[in-house]
Amino acid sequence: MNAQLLDGKATAAEVRRELAERVAKLTATGGRPPGLGTVLVGDDPGSHTYVAGKHRDCAQVGIASLRRELPADATQQQVEDVIDELNADPACTGYIVQLPLPRHLDANRVLERMDPAKDADGLHPVNLGRLVLGVEAPLPCTPRGIVELLRRYEVPLAGARVCVIGRGITVGRPIGLLLTRRSENATVTLCHTGTKGLAWHVREADIVVAAAGSPGLITKDMLRPGAAVLDVGITRTDHGLVGDVHPDAAQVAGWLAPMPGGVGPMTRAMLLANVVEAAERNANAA
């Protein structure tokens, strides 16, 4: 069996085209154009590259870019002043703080200072609480991207057994909240370093989401034939970036979202979707 590719690049491009149409419609009817802000502290090359990619995506969709860059020795007060500025700026529909921040800064204080309505990443404590309650709010980008990718490839979700490996706040914990909504109706098992018999849990699953940051953790002998496998883990090695799923998994899986090119592009696309949806909500409330 050769797995069908869950092509995140192609799907994200399709999402961007759809969002561009929504932005054009919004502005044509007098709505304020959406704007994405980014807060970048320091000169980490990887962070600069990642943020630049987000703004390229914005340009394709018609979202304005608001860049705020501070030196690595910026004080807590200076960073919080930028947060206050973006919270108050009507041109900023949503924004992100690029992590990690320099060690001398309190990242939690910075993130909690953000206006939850402008939380483009969907990871503000208030918005995670709203997700638990089933109240409308910006959704975490990577879990939302996973669900969107599965839906667009018509991978069955209702009644599916899902095994999530990794309990991080960006993927592992919130993905279960999305997949167990009535609109998805999947059954989710969350595995982590304390899980006994990991291979058994994985083999029982119709869908496997690997987000542990452990290179090659999921191998073909662990998988149910025909399962959908999504590789979300990223580890930097001497040989480049490596995912959690061993390449031999493609011999057994029915669908495979590889790393890179699978979930990553969908994460960026869902960031844009959160901003566009916030702009639409603002227009409807006006």
Residue stretches of the annotated binding site? 166-168, 234
Q: Give the bridge partners for 191, in sequence order.
A: 165
**Other C-beta atoms within 10 Å of 122: how many?**
24
Task: Point out the annotated binding site for NADP(+).
Answer: 166-168, 234
Q: CA 252, 253, 259, 261 torsion: positive or negative? A: positive
**Other C-beta atoms within 10 Å of 224: how many?**
19
Q: CA 218: distance to chain centroid?
A: 21
**Other C-beta atoms within 10 Å of 140: how many?**
27
**What angle (nearest 5°) sits at the alpha carbon of residue 194, between those of residues 189 and 197?**
65
B/e letters for 241-254, b = 16+ CB within 10 Å, e = fewer, are: ebbbbbeebbebbb
Cis peptide before 174 (omega within 30 of 0): no
Q: Residue 28: phi, psi to the nearest 5?
A: -65, -25
80 burial type by CB count under 10 A (0-12 exposed, 13-18 middle, 19+ buried): middle
d(CA 147, CA 189): 16
> Which residues are part of the catalytic machinery?
54, 98, 121
